[in-house]
Amino acid sequence: MNKRASGEWLRLAEKAEEVTKTIGIITILFLLISVAQAEGTQEDYGLLWSYETGGLVNSVSVSSDGSYIAAGSDDTKVYFFNREGKLIWGYKTGYPVCSVSVSSDGSYIAAGSMDYNVYYFNREGKLIWSYETGDQVWGVSVSSDGSYIAAGSRDNNTYFFNREGKLIWSYKTGKDVKSVSVSSDGSYIAAGSGDNNVYFFDNLKVFAEDGIREAKKTIESEKAKGFNMAKAEALLFQAEQALSTGKYEIAKELVNQAMSIAIDIDGDGVLNSFDFAPTINNNYIYIGGVVLIAAFTGAGFVVRRNKKKRKEYLVLKTRYEQLKEEGYKGDDKLEEMLK
């Protein structure tokens, strides 16, 4: 190789080395920036608090707005905190707590323990019920309003309960059930098992059947008070027909309509028992009354009337919530009117 070629070769080698170094520096800088971005700073993620339990924390769950936090620990305890990190209550089970789940508004908390039990608490920490499965409970999940609870156990079963602790159904898989999840309204449940399968269940038939039973009770109760239940009964009959033909979603909707009409015949948002004219939509009476009062007696009476109406509204809303607690699943129309 002549001197010219040799010199050219050296220049190329030096250039290649320079480029390699530059690429290496750029790569290192990129990685450092990426790590810094991934790690962030305390200002970025805002650690609000931490709490040391007596063992490994196996599970945590947060209410929809972050107001309440539940945790389950190897120290056998269920912990319940508020957003500020204050421990509201703790409950000691027999063995480590494997799973916890909080309802959307933080009113209800479910926990699964290695002592074979599913536990269900209210926000104040009162144990509402517990249910003993055949082995360690590894997963629990609560519907948004706390009406339904699913649990998965090492005994290979998926369990489904209502708020009162009644076992609605159970399903045996091939191996232990590691995890469960309930949809917002409890209509669907997913379960993951050690048999390598994902299981997906629906409760539409169960809900339709339960709804029909509750609607029958409500209709009979309202009929005994002297209210005309013909329209509600017609809808209930249609719901039963839909159920018998496997149209569970339609049956559920018809049941809700029947319940809505049964407790509020004229559809004015005032429950029959509190309605001074249950067969006449009171909105027309209120509007007419307000117009007459404004025209003949002045605005002062309107204010007093509105206060009275507000008081009636609060009474009705309270009664409606009581009915929901008793098993009535609610109705979108009534929910909207009672907002």
Left, alpha or beta for 280 (phi > 0: left; psi -120 to 50: alpha)?
Answer: beta
Q: What is the mean pLDDT of the chain?
A: 82
CA dist 34 and 322 (Å) reads 54
What's the mean pLDDT in 108-129? Answer: 98
Q: By the 8 A CB rule, do 276 and 312 touch?
A: no
Question: What confidence score (pLDDT) does residue 8 get?
Answer: 54
In three-state secondary structure terms, 135 is coil
| Residue ranges of domains in the chain | 10-44, 57-202, 206-337
CA dist 88 and 81 (Å) reads 5
What's the mean pLDDT in 44-72? Answer: 95
Nearest one of 62, 96, 101, 58 to 77, comparing CA atoms:
96
What's the mean pLDDT in 222-226? Answer: 88
What's the mean pLDDT in 328-334? Answer: 64
pTM for this prediction? 0.66
Q: Mind listing the pLDDT tens digit for each residue in 280-306? A: 555 554 555 554 455 555 545 444 555
User: In the predicted model, is pLDDT for residue 11 greater than 80?
Assistant: no
Q: How confident is the model at residue 320 (pLDDT cuts 50, 70, 90)?
A: low
Question: What confidence score (pLDDT) does residue 287 get?
Answer: 53
Q: By the 8 A CB rule, do 113 and 96 touch?
A: yes
Question: What confidence score (pLDDT) does residue 303 get?
Answer: 45
**Residue 142: exposed, middle, or buried by beta-carbon count in 10 A (0-12, 13-18, 19+)?**
buried
| Tokens encoding 79 | 């912990």
- The single-letter code of the amino acid at 321 is E
| Tokens encoding 112 | 């699964």
Describe the strand order of the beta sheet including 97-102 as a list of residue ranges: 97-102, 108-113, 117-122, 127-132
**CATH assignment, 57-202:** 2.130.10.10
Left, alpha or beta for 76 (phi > 0: left; psi -120 to 50: alpha)?
Answer: left
Q: What is the CB-side half-sphere exposure of residue 101 using CA atoms within 13 A?
A: 28
Q: By the 8 A CB rule, do 131 and 124 touch?
A: no
Q: Mind listing the pLDDT tens digit for each residue in 77-89? A: 999 999 999 999 9
Which one is predicted more confidently, 211 or 318? Answer: 211
CA dist 78 and 76 (Å) reads 7
Q: Which residue matches tokens 């309509």?
A: 257
Q: Mind listing the pLDDT tens digit for each residue in 20-31? A: 455 554 444 454
**Residue 89: exposed, middle, or buried by beta-carbon count in 10 A (0-12, 13-18, 19+)?**
middle
Q: Mind listing the pLDDT tens digit for each residue in 168-220? A: 999 999 999 999 999 999 999 999 999 999 999 998 888 888 889 989 999 99
